[in-house]
Amino acid sequence: MTGESLAVSKKIGDPAYSGSIAKKGEMTAVVTATGAHTFFGRTAGLVQSAGAKSHFAQANNRIGDFLIILAVLLAVIMVSLQLHRGEDFFKITEFALLLLVAAIPVAMPAVLSMTMAMGAKALAAEKAIVSRLESIEELAGIDILFSDKTGTLTQNKLTLGEPVVWGTAAPQDVILAGALASKAEDKDPIDLTVIGALKDPGALKAYQQIAYVPFDPVSKRTEATVKDAAGNQFKVTKGMPPVIFALAQLAGDDLAKAQSVVNDYAAQGYRTLAAARSDASGAWKLLGILPMHDPPRPDSKETIARAEAYGVKVKMVTGDDVMIGRNIAATLGMGSHIVAASDIFEGDVSQGDIPLDLARRVEAAQGFGRVFPEHKWAIVKAAQTLGHIVGMTGDGVNDAPALKQADVGTAVSGATEAARAAAGLILTAPGLSVIIKGIEEARRTFERMMGYAYYRIAMTISIMLFIVLVMMLYKVPVLTPIMIILLALLDDVPVMLIAFDNATVSPRPAKWDMHRVLVISCILALLCVVQSSGLLSHLYHLHTLTNSMLQTAMFMQLVIAGHLLLFSTRSRGLFWQPPYPEWRFFWAIMGTQLLAALMAANGWLVTPISWHVIGLIWIYNLIWLVFLDLFKYGLYHMFDLRETKKMHWQAMLHEPLDSFRGLHSK
């Protein structure tokens, strides 16, 4: 297995890689490496060792740990306080344990997994199959996408450009000579491209191919002996330009001119072939040069621009030469700073961490050429070292280590089974546009997950803190054990349906900013405590409700306040602005509200209260919803300003000092 795009010649002292195929010739070799020490073995080993820990798992664990520690701490404070007051130990312990069970977010992994599962279903409709649910959350956050060139950015279909004729030859004469020096039944892509460029495919019927010598790495050309309709016999050949130039005995200005043509086409990303024909004396005469090109996909440039608009930097990774990659990248608007992977990575890069200086060079490059399988893995690892969330596309066995190491390894359409097994996302349609659609849907899914995270943290903290606060001030439980169970059950219905909710597409890569999540959630929780305490204080001092009726009223308060908070946390904007709640999600919230109201009014499992009190609680919470939402919107705006300033300063730190010389020009 080799990264070379054509067969290569080997001489004494050169290494021959394990798994390679000898196309011609024989040799006596000394084995210098076996098993895991070969290129083939190291690639297989990388598949086993590669992999990055899911950001979803990290965030889920951190949120869970935070809430569990806080819940246990508040439970200990409540139990200690009640024991100090002489309450029955078993009674207060039973209440505390029940409160802990209700407060700890045991449903959080299930809700987030269900949300991602619905996102996976939506992605499948966009021709992207998710093999790992966590890939959806990672896809929403990628900021660098390393893309294979052939077949992903380009059409993987060679196209013959306008031939450069030599002497008195016509363009079709050059193509005809190249076609006669080809063999269609060999199914060689280059041969088929040259034959397909004939304006009149029937022209070949006038000739008979008597002998044919296929391409080999020694001669670097094909040759055919041909007889025309008149019985005249001659030879034609096509191959690498330097070889054909030497065969035609070009020298001086003619050789310089021919080499200049080849170099100009190479700078434009073209691979060139030269074609020649023998004359009556058997001497070879150059007919012209055939430029061949794998054109970009029609949608590639637009897709890359869309990716850039979403904050995703697309970088090319190809086994082709740097100059070809540079031309394609510049054409697609990806930049022209394409470097050879071997210039960055030297020796065995399959073990250990990537040094910071190499990681910085990978980050600065806009693409990579002459890439080996180990290089792909190292490129991904280097970007991850600097904190980037990385996507990687590939289709072959040699891409498997990098696909598994990447946060979002993507097997493109037509990929091998090995690549599909290592990838987290499998595309069933060609091109990058499928990935961009996937990013959009993944970011919607992430917004739903974030909305639930804000809600879950805020509600857990507010309920626990409110109950402990009431126990400290009023010396009686604000809720009965059955109310705590009912509160948890009623809460589970709408949060499970948040997976269906409408959501916006963030213009920037989505990330779990735990500082932002915890700060905003805790502030909202404290405001909810103030909200519930205000209502309790008002109802308590009216002296119109008994203690059990107060408990029912506060049960209604926590149900209404909690579910209305979902309307606020579900999006970054104000709750009365688009995107509006999806109908299933909306009616799930309203349905549980109605059920709770019927329970409170009819005394089902709770002490009944009047519809008048229920109506007052509703009005009170609607007013608070507007206040909480405005406060939340302000918090988001404050964090966004801080993030913008942070990004501005980071950009300045990475700016070359030469950029600031203009400040002194005046």
Do 96 and 242 share a domain, yes or no? no
Do 96 and 163 share a domain, yes or no? no
E-strand stretches of 196-267: 208-213, 221-227, 233-239
Number of domains in the chain: 2
Do 457 and 548 share a domain, yes or no? yes
Final residue before a domain boundary, out of 274, 293, 312? 293
E-strand stretches of 282-365: 284-293, 313-317, 338-340
The pTM of this model reads: 0.76
Which helix H or strand E contains 130, and what residues bound it?
strand 128-130
Enumerate the β-bridge partners of residue 277: 236, 285
Which helix H or strand E contains 148, and what residues bound it?
strand 144-148
- What are 442-465's pLDDT values in tens digits? 999 999 999 999 999 999 899 888
CA–CA distance, 288 with 285 (Å, rounded to integer): 9
Do 96 and 198 share a domain, yes or no? no
CA–CA distance, 122 with 664 (Å, rounded to integer): 54
Summarize the confidence of residues 103-121 as an average pLDDT. 82
pLDDT at residue 9 is higher than 80: no
Residue percentage of the chain with pLDDT more than 90: 39
- What are 469-488's pLDDT values in tens digits? 888 887 778 888 889 889 88
pLDDT band for position 330 (cuts 50, 70, 90): confident
Distance from first CA to last CA of the chain, Å, rounded? 59
Summarize the confidence of residues 310-322 as an average pLDDT. 87
| Contact status, residue 393 vs residue 316, Cβ threshold 8 Å | no
Summarize the confidence of residues 17-33 as an average pLDDT. 79
Cα dihedral: 411, 416, 419, 420 (round 10): 60
- Any residues with CB less than 8 A from the CB of 187 and at least 6 apart, and which? none
Q: Which of 525, 516, 524 is nearest to 636 (CA)?
A: 516
- Position 132 in a domain: no
Task: Let me know if 148 is a catalytic residue.
Answer: yes
pLDDT at residue 235 is higher than 90: yes
pLDDT at 624: 96
Q: In terms of residue numbers, what domain contains 219?
A: 159-293
> What secondary structure letter does DSSP report for 296?
B
- Position 111 in a domain: no
CA–CA distance, 316 with 294 (Å, rounded to integer): 15
pLDDT band for position 2 (cuts 50, 70, 90): very low
pLDDT band for position 44 (cuts 50, 70, 90): low
pLDDT at 429: 86
pLDDT at residue 521 is higher than 90: yes
Phi, psi values for residue 322, rounded to 5°: -60, -40
Which long-range contacts link 131-137 to residues 24+ away (Cβ below 8 Å)? 131/420, 131/423, 131/424, 131/425, 131/426, 132/424, 134/54, 134/55, 134/56, 134/57, 134/424, 135/408, 135/424, 135/425, 136/442, 136/445, 136/446, 137/54, 137/55, 137/56, 137/442, 137/445, 137/446, 137/449
Do 173 and 95 share a domain, yes or no? no
Phi, psi values for residue 144, rounded to 5°: -135, 130
- Position 518 in a domain: yes
Do 576 and 476 share a domain, yes or no? yes
- Position 536 in a domain: yes
pLDDT at residue 308 is higher than 60: yes
CA–CA distance, 163 with 175 (Å, rounded to integer): 8
Radius of gyration over alpha carbons of the chain, in Å?
Answer: 35
pLDDT at residue 1 is higher than 60: no
Enumerate the β-bridge partners of residue 164: 289
Do 553 and 627 share a domain, yes or no? yes
Cβ neighbourhood burial of 252 (10 Å; 0-12, 13-18, 19+) = exposed
Final residue before a domain boundary, out of 267, 293, 319? 293
- Position 51 in a domain: no
Higher pLDDT, 83 or 645: 83
CA 23, 29, 30, 31 torsion: positive or negative? positive
- What are 625-642's pLDDT values in tens digits? 999 999 999 999 999 888
- Position 198 in a domain: yes
Higher pLDDT, 103 or 616: 616
pLDDT at residue 661 is higher than 50: no
pLDDT at residue 4 is higher than 50: no
What CATH number should be reported for the domain holding residue 575? 1.20.1110.10
| Contact status, residue 238 vs residue 275, Cβ threshold 8 Å | yes
Summarize the confidence of residues 491-518 as an average pLDDT. 89
Do 195 and 93 share a domain, yes or no? no
- Position 136 in a domain: no
CA distances from 456 to 105, 212, 526, 535, 560 (A): 7, 74, 14, 22, 15
Of 27-36, 223-232, 242-251, 306-315, the least confident: 27-36
Do 93 and 239 share a domain, yes or no? no
- Position 300 in a domain: no
pLDDT band for position 90 (cuts 50, 70, 90): confident
Higher pLDDT, 665 or 349: 349
- What are 555-601's pLDDT values in tens digits? 999 999 999 999 999 999 999 999 999 999 999 999 999 999 999 99
pLDDT at residue 101 is higher than 80: no
pLDDT at 617: 95
What CATH number should be reported for the domain holding residue 270? 3.40.1110.10
pLDDT at 542: 79
pLDDT at 352: 58
Final residue before a domain boundary, out of 240, 267, 293? 293
pLDDT at residue 539 is higher than 60: yes
Please name the residue that has the structure tokens 């990388």: 46
Do 94 and 204 share a domain, yes or no? no
For the chain, the 3-state helix, strand and coil shares in percent, each to the nearest 5, are: 55, 10, 30
Higher pLDDT, 274 or 58: 274
CA–CA distance, 486 with 397 (Å, rounded to integer): 54
Phi, psi values for residue 505, rounded to 5°: -100, 115
pLDDT at 375: 86
Q: Which of 106, 94, 91, 99 is nearest to 75 (CA)?
A: 99
pLDDT at 659: 46
- What are 355-413's pLDDT values in tens digits? 888 889 999 999 998 887 678 889 999 999 998 999 999 887 778 888 888 989 999 88
Summarize the confidence of residues 611-633 as an average pLDDT. 95
Phi, psi values for residue 563, rounded to 5°: -75, -35
Residue percentage of the chain with pLDDT more than 70: 91
- Any residues with CB less than 8 A from the CB of 462 and at least 6 apart, and which? 524, 525, 526, 528, 529, 532
pLDDT at 348: 60
Of 152-161, 412-421, 644-653, the least confident: 644-653
Question: What is the number of other CB atoms lying within 10 angstroms of the CB of residue 505?
Answer: 16
| Sequence letter at residue 604 | W
Catalytic residue among 148, 395, 399, 629: 148
